[in-house]
Amino acid sequence: MLHSHLTTLNAVSLVLSTFEAEGLPSEALLAGSGIRAADLNRADIRITTNQE
């Protein structure tokens, strides 16, 4: 991932909110992504575009 771009968790948070409103648990949706539910509350966290 040498040339991987970094981004915030904003898009991930929005998508998770939509799925949670439909009754899907965020933990299951985040499984294998390397993103923890606690990370969603931190503005300083950056993820790769592959994780997004």
* pLDDT per position as a tens digit, 3-22: 678 888 988 999 999 999 99
Question: Whole-angstrom Cα distance, residue 37 to residue 16?
Answer: 10
* Separation of alpha carbons 40 and 20, rounded Å: 14
Return phi, psi of residue 29, to 5°. -70, -30
Beta-bridge partners for 47? 7
Number of domains the chain contains:
1
Which domain range does residue 36 map to?
A: 6-48
Q: What is the mean pLDDT of residues 14-41?
A: 92
Judge whether residue 30 has pLDDT over 90. Answer: yes
Q: Answer whether residue 16 is part of any domain.
A: yes
Q: What is the token pair recorded at 45?
A: 């966290």
What average pLDDT does the segment 47-51 reach? 86
Residue 11 falls within a domain, yes or no? yes
Would you say the pTM of this structure is higher than 0.85? no
Within 10 Å of residue 16's Cβ, how many Cβ atoms? 19
Q: From CA 7, how far away is CA 24, in angstroms rounded?
A: 24
With respect to residue 1, please indicate whether it lies within any of the assigned structural domains: no
